[in-house]
Amino acid sequence: MPIKALIRTIPHYPKPGVMFRDITTLLKDPDGFRLTIAEMAEPCRGRRIDKIAAMESRGFIVGAAMASVLGTGFVPLRKRGKLPAETIGHDYALEYGADRLEMHVDAVERGERVLIVDDVLATGGTAEAAVKLVGATGGEIAGCCFVIEIAGLGGRARLERLGLAPFSLVQFDAD
């Protein structure tokens, strides 16, 4: 079964007009989950990647599994106030408000190559915040990987303006 077929669509969540792409149905399928991680890791093999940084919360699942497969460290990027040690943060705008992404100040060393991983690329605001946060520590962005890309919401273009070429396994149109 193709990966895309294992992703559930929930209409009008979290607000009317939004078609939410839910990867929990993909995660519960052992073959689908294993295939997802293998296919996301494949383009990264042979490249220097020191750490994977992934966004809370579904990004943690995919990012940690990829870190294990690729033999890299893992850096959790969390919402404000969730990490126990000293943090560095980056504020960013959402379509309906603002948020903040944080990581421990000692999570990424200057010159380390970091792959950004999340479940969905939509408008690109969270991904851009992750890129800027890692860059603020002196880390270098090795790339950005997503399970899903929602086409037409500007996320790809936003990352391309930063000189990045995001990779995604499956694509859905913005509905």
Q: Which member of 34, 42, 95, 161 is catalytic?
A: 95
CA distance 72 to 93: 30
pTM of the entire predicted model: 0.95
Q: Which member of 58, 100, 113, 140 is catalytic?
A: 58
Cβ atoms < 10 Å from Cβ of 152: 13
For 57-96, what is each residue's pLDDT tens digit? 999 999 999 999 999 999 999 999 999 999 999 999 876 6
Query: Structural domains in the chain?
Result: 48-173 (3.40.50.2020)
Type of residue numbered 111 = G
> Is 58 part of the annotated catalytic residue set?
yes
For residue 6, what are its two tokens?
Answer: 């294992």
For 117-140, what is each residue's pLDDT tens digit? 999 999 999 999 999 999 999 999
For residue 61, what are its two tokens?
Answer: 């699942």
